[in-house]
Amino acid sequence: MNRFGFQISTARSIDLDRADAKLRQRLLEAVPSYRYCIGCGGCTATCSAGAFTDFNIRKTHFLFSRGEVDKLSPTPMPDVDLNKCMLCGKCTLVCPRGVNTRGLIMQMRQLLVNKQS
Amino acid sequence: MFSFFVIPFCLGVVALLVISILKYYHWIKQFDRKQQALVRRNILSWKFVPALWEMFRECLLHWRITKHHVLLGYMHRSLAFGWFLLIVVGFVQAMVAYPEGHHFYVAIFFNYFEPRSTVSGSAAMPFLAHLMDALLLYVFSGLTLAILKRFWSKPLGMKRTTRHNLTDRVAKGALWCIFPLRLLAEGATASIYGNGGFLVLAMGRLMQQIGMADPIVEYQFWMLYSLALGIFFTLMPFTRYMHIFTEVFLIYFRKMGLRDSNTKSGYTLFELSACSRCGICIDGCPINRELNITDIQGVYLLKAIRNKDVYNRIEDISKMCMVCGRCSTECPVGIDLEPIRRQVRAEHVKEIDRTEGYQYLKSVHSFNAVGRVAYFGGCMSHLTPSITHAMEQIFEAAGQSYWHMDGEGTLCCGRPLMQQGLVKQAEELRNLNRRIIKKSNATMLVTSCPICYQTFLHDYKLDIPVLHHSQYIDMLIQRGKIKIEPSGKRVTYHDPCELGRGCGVYEEPRHVVAAAATLLPTQEERAKSLCCGFNLGNTSIDSNQQTPIRDAALRNLLDPNPDLIATACPMCKKALTHANRVAVEDIAEIVAKQIKK
C-alpha cells in the first residue's frame, strides 16, 4: 500500500556525474506535456496499482527524469515497477496540468528497456 | 483470328492471373490454426449462398457505399457493375457470333474481329450492340463523376479524399483511359464498316466526317485500348485495385467465421488488400475532423502496412487513434480496423509486454456471492462515485442483493492494455479477474463502464450473463422491479463509443432515458456518435488535442437545447462535465432520482 502524504523526506543528494540527462530529454520529446508537471502527486494518490502496492508514479518519473534509473528497480529488470501499471487512465483524468501520464508510463518503459538492451 | 494489338491485353491478363494466384496462395498458407480449421469446416457449407449474395451486393452494386451517399454509390456501382456487364454481354455477343467457340480475347475486341455482325449477323446482334453502348454510357456517367470527385469531392459526399501514391495514380490513369479508348476504337471501326450500336455509330460518323476512316487509325486505337487494359491488369496486383478480387475472397472468408487474431495472419493480408482506399473512413475520424491530422486514418494504416512503410511511421500512424471505432462502422468493405491497429501496436511494444507485474492482485480476495449480482463499477467509476452510488440505490430499490466487486480497490479489466497492444499483460489481468469472478459464484455480472463491458463480453468468456448497467436497468424496468416517474426534463443522450459501436448497445440506454425523462434526438448519434475525446485508446494524444474533440461532441449534444445530458459511461461523463453549462449525468443517476418509493 502506498501511503501518500506529507512525510518528512530523508536528506539525499543527486550525483550529477552519474545522472543520465538524455533520458529526460527523450521523454520530453515523446511526451511534450510532461513539461507542465508540477509534481502535485495527484496521479499517485488516485493510482489503482498504488492502492495495492508501493508503486508510486511521481517518485518513478522524478527518479527517471533525474537520471537515477538504477534506483527504480531492485531487480535487473529496469521497468519491473512500472509493470504494475494497469493503464486504467485515472491518473490522466485527475492531472490538473493535463499531462499525458499514460503516454509517460509507456514511454518510460520503452526507454528503460531500450537502454538496457 | 488474331491481330498483334491483342498481345498487351493478353500479357496483362496472364500477369494478373499468375501474380494474383501466387499472392492468394501465399496468404492462405499464412492462415493461423483456427482460421485453417474454420476454412476446412466451412468451405463446402451452405454459407456459400449468403456469401454469394453479399459478393453481388457489395462488390458489384456497392450497397453499403450507396447507403453512405447515393451519388458516391452510383459512381462506384456504374464503374464496377457497368464494366462487369460489359464483359458479360461481350462474351454473349461472341458466343452468338461463334457458337462453335472462339479465343477469349475475341469477346473483348468483338467489334474489330466481327465488324459486320450488326449488318449481316443474327437478329440478336443489333440489340446486343445497342445494349453494349448503353452500358458504355452507364460506365461513362460513373467515370465523369469519378473525374469530378478528383477535383471537387463534396457533391459526392466526401470532404477529404485519399492521397494515393504513384503506382495507384498510374493505374487509375490507365483505368480512366480504358473506356474512352474503347469508344474511339469501336468508333474507328464503325467509321469504316458502319457497325455498332447508337453510340458507336454516332462516334463512327463523326470520325468519318473528320477524315479518320482509315484502317491504320483504327488499328492504332485498338492498340491503345489494348495497352490501357494491359497496363491496368499488370499494375492491379500491386495497387489498390487488388481490392476488386480480394474483396470477393474476404467476404467468403468472413462468412466462414474467420476473424483477425492478435498477430498478423493470412486473413489480415486479405483485409489489407481488400481495402479499396475509397477514403470514406477519413471524414468521420475525430482526429481528422477536429485536429486536422489527416494521415493516420484506417486507409493510411492499411496502406502503410501493405507498402511496408518505415517502421517509425507505421508506429506513429497506429498510435494516433482514439479507437472510437467510427472508421470500422463506416468501412464499406467491412474491414475491422481495431484488431489490425492492435497488431501493429503489439509489434512495437513487444519488448515491454511482459507478465510479472500483477502478482499483487493475487492478494485480492473473492467474496462468496452466491445468488448475488456482481457489480463491477470500473476504474473510472472511482472518479465518479455518484454513478456507483446510484447503482447501489437501484439494486436496493429492486431488492437485488449485490456484491460491489471493485468497491475497495480498483481492478482493471485489461482492455486499456489490450488497446495498446500489451496482449500478454492484458491476458494476465483477465486471468486474475476471471478467477475472482468464478470463485464468487455470482449469478450475473453488471458493469457501469462500457470499456469493461466490451472486454467482459468479448474476451473473458464467462459462464454467467454479462450486462452493462443500461441493459440491467432496462431489464428491471421491463420486469417491473423498479417503478419510475418521468421527470419531464429534456435530455440528449451521448452514445459511448465502446457501448454503441463496440457492443451494439444503442436501444437499451435510450429506453431507460425515455422512461425517466424526455429523450431528444441529436444530429450525430448511434453509430455516428462522436467520441468524447477521452477514450483510453490513445496514449500519444495531449489534453490540448483532446479538448477540441470533446467540444465537438458537446456541440452536437447541446444543439437541441437540453436541460440535461445523459451518458452511460463514467469516462464520457467525466470528459463532458468539464467546460459545460448543462449538467451531465449517467443514466443510472437519472433513474435513481426518479424511482417511485
Cβ–Cβ gap A84/B360 under 8 Å: yes
Domain B256-349 coded CATH 1.20.1250.30: no
Cβ–Cβ gap A117/B351 under 8 Å: yes
Q: Is B93 exposed, middle or buried (0-12, 13-18, 19+ CB in 10 A)?
A: buried
Partner residue facing A86 (CB), from B412, B541, B574: B412
Provide the 8-state DSSP code for A7.
P
Provide the 8-state DSSP code for A36.
G
Q: Tens digit of pLDDT per residue, chain B (597 long)?
A: 889 999 999 999 999 999 999 999 999 999 999 999 999 999 888 889 999 999 999 999 999 999 999 999 999 999 999 999 999 999 999 999 888 888 889 999 999 998 887 777 778 889 999 999 999 999 999 999 999 999 999 999 999 999 999 999 999 999 999 999 999 999 999 999 988 899 999 999 999 999 889 999 999 999 999 999 999 999 999 999 999 999 999 999 999 999 998 899 999 999 999 999 999 999 999 999 999 999 999 999 999 999 988 888 899 999 999 999 999 999 999 999 999 999 999 999 998 888 878 888 888 878 888 889 999 999 999 999 999 999 999 999 999 999 999 888 888 999 999 999 999 999 999 999 999 999 999 999 999 999 999 999 999 999 999 999 999 999 999 999 999 999 989 999 999 999 999 999 999 999 999 999 999 999 999 999 999 999 999 999 988 999 999 999 999 999 999 999 999 999 999 999 976 789 999 999 999 999 987
Cα separation of B591 and B486, whole Å? 9
B411: contact with A, CB 8 A cutoff: yes
A102: contact with B, CB 8 A cutoff: yes
Using 50, 70 and 90 to split pLDDT, how confident is the model at A77? low
Q: How many residues does chain B have?
A: 597
Task: Return the domain boundaries, chain B.
Answer: 6-13+48-244, 256-349, 358-474, 483-594
Closest-CA distance, A18 to chain B, in angstroms, reads 25
pLDDT of residue A70 exceeding 80, the answer is: no
Cβ–Cβ gap A48/B410 under 8 Å: yes
Q: CA Rg, chain A, in Å? A: 14
B363: contact with A, CB 8 A cutoff: yes
Partner residue facing A88 (CB), from B358, B379, B542: B379
Q: Are B486 and B517 in contact (CB under 8 A)?
A: yes
Chain A residues touching B574 at Cβ < 8 A: 93
Interface of A with B in 8-67 (CB under 8 A): 32-33, 46, 48-49, 51-53
Cβ–Cβ gap A109/B352 under 8 Å: yes
Cβ–Cβ gap B351/A103 under 8 Å: no
Q: What is the pLDDT of residue B579?
A: 65
Among B557, B571, B564, smallest CA distance to B585 is for B564
Q: How many residues does chain A have?
A: 117
Q: Are A100 and B542 in contact (CB under 8 A)?
A: yes
Q: Which CATH architecture has domain B483-594?
A: 3-Layer(aba) Sandwich (3.40)
User: Could you read off the pLDDT of B373-418 as tens digits, one per residue?
Assistant: 999 999 999 999 999 999 999 999 999 999 999 888 888 999 999 9
A80: contact with B, CB 8 A cutoff: yes
Helices (H), B285-323: 286-291, 298-306, 311-319
Task: Return the domain boundaries, chain A.
Answer: 21-116
Q: Can you say how many angstroms the Cα of residue B288 is from the centroid of all Cα atoms in its chain? A: 17
Q: What is the pLDDT of residue B345?
A: 94
In this prediction, does ipTM exceed 0.85?
A: yes
Chain A residues touching B420 at Cβ < 8 A: 87, 106
Partner residue facing B352 (CB), from A53, A79, A103: A79
Q: Do domains B256-349 and B358-474 have the same CATH topology?
A: no
* Beta strands B444-447; B466-468: pairing state: parallel
Q: Which CATH architecture has domain B358-474?
A: 3-Layer(aba) Sandwich (3.40)
A84: contact with B, CB 8 A cutoff: yes
B144: contact with A, CB 8 A cutoff: no
CB atoms under 10 Å from CB of B495, counted, come to 28
Cα separation of B336 and B298, whole Å? 10
How much is the average pLDDT of A100-105? Answer: 94
pTM score: 0.93
Closest-CA distance, A52 to chain B, in angstroms, reads 7
Indicate the residue type of B88: V
In three-state secondary structure terms, B41 is helix
For B214, residues 6+ apart whose C-beta sits below 8 A from its C-beta are B192
Closest-CA distance, A19 to chain B, in angstroms, reads 23
Chain A residues touching B376 at Cβ < 8 A: none
User: Could you read off the pLDDT of B251-293 as tens digits, one per residue?
Assistant: 999 999 999 988 999 999 999 999 999 999 999 999 999 999 9
Cβ–Cβ gap B349/A106 under 8 Å: yes
Cβ–Cβ gap B360/A109 under 8 Å: no
The grid coordinates listed for A94 are 485527475
Q: Which residue of B has its CA nearest to A108?
A: B352
Q: Between A and B, how many residue pairs show a Cβ–Cβ distance under 8 A? A: 100
Q: What is the pLDDT of residue A4?
A: 58
User: Could you read off the pLDDT of B552-591 as tens digits, one per residue?
Assistant: 999 999 999 999 999 999 999 999 997 678 999 999 999 9
